[in-house]
Amino acid sequence: LANGVGLDTPESVAHALCALAGAGYALGEGWPRSGAELMAQLLAGRTNAKSSRRSDVRFACAEYERLFARLPETVRAAVSDRWGAPEDDPFYADGAFHLPAHTYGNIVIAVQPARGYNIDPTATYHDPDLAPPHGYLAFYLWLREVFGAHAVVHFGKHGNLEWLPGKSIALDATCFPEAAFGPLPHLYPFIVNDPGEGTQAKRR
pLDDT (average), residues 10-28: 95
Question: Distance of CA 60 to CAs 12, 64, 94, Å?
Answer: 32, 6, 9
Element (H, E) at 201: helix 195-203
pLDDT (average), residues 166-195: 87
69 CB contacts (<8 Å, ≥6 apart)?
76
Chain centroid to Cα 184, Å, comes to: 13
Q: What is the pLDDT of residue 50?
A: 75
195/204 Cα distance (integer angstroms): 14
Q: What is the pLDDT of residue 31?
A: 96
* Pairing outcome for strands 152-153 and 107-110: unpaired
5/166 Cα distance (integer angstroms): 26
Chain centroid to Cα 70, Å, comes to: 20
**Where residue 202 falls among pLDDT bands split at 50, 70, 90?**
low
52: pLDDT strictly greater than 70: no
Whether 144 contacts 176, CB under 8 Å: no
pLDDT (average), residues 68-75: 98
146 CB contacts (<8 Å, ≥6 apart)?
59, 63
Q: What is the pLDDT of residue 90?
A: 92
Whether 61 contacts 87, CB under 8 Å: yes
**Where residue 82 falls among pLDDT bands split at 50, 70, 90?**
very high
201: pLDDT strictly greater than 80: no
pLDDT 10s digits, 95-113:
999 999 999 999 999 999 9
Whether 15 contacts 155, CB under 8 Å: no
pLDDT (average), residues 178-195: 84
24/37 Cα distance (integer angstroms): 21
Q: Which amino acid is at 13?
A: V
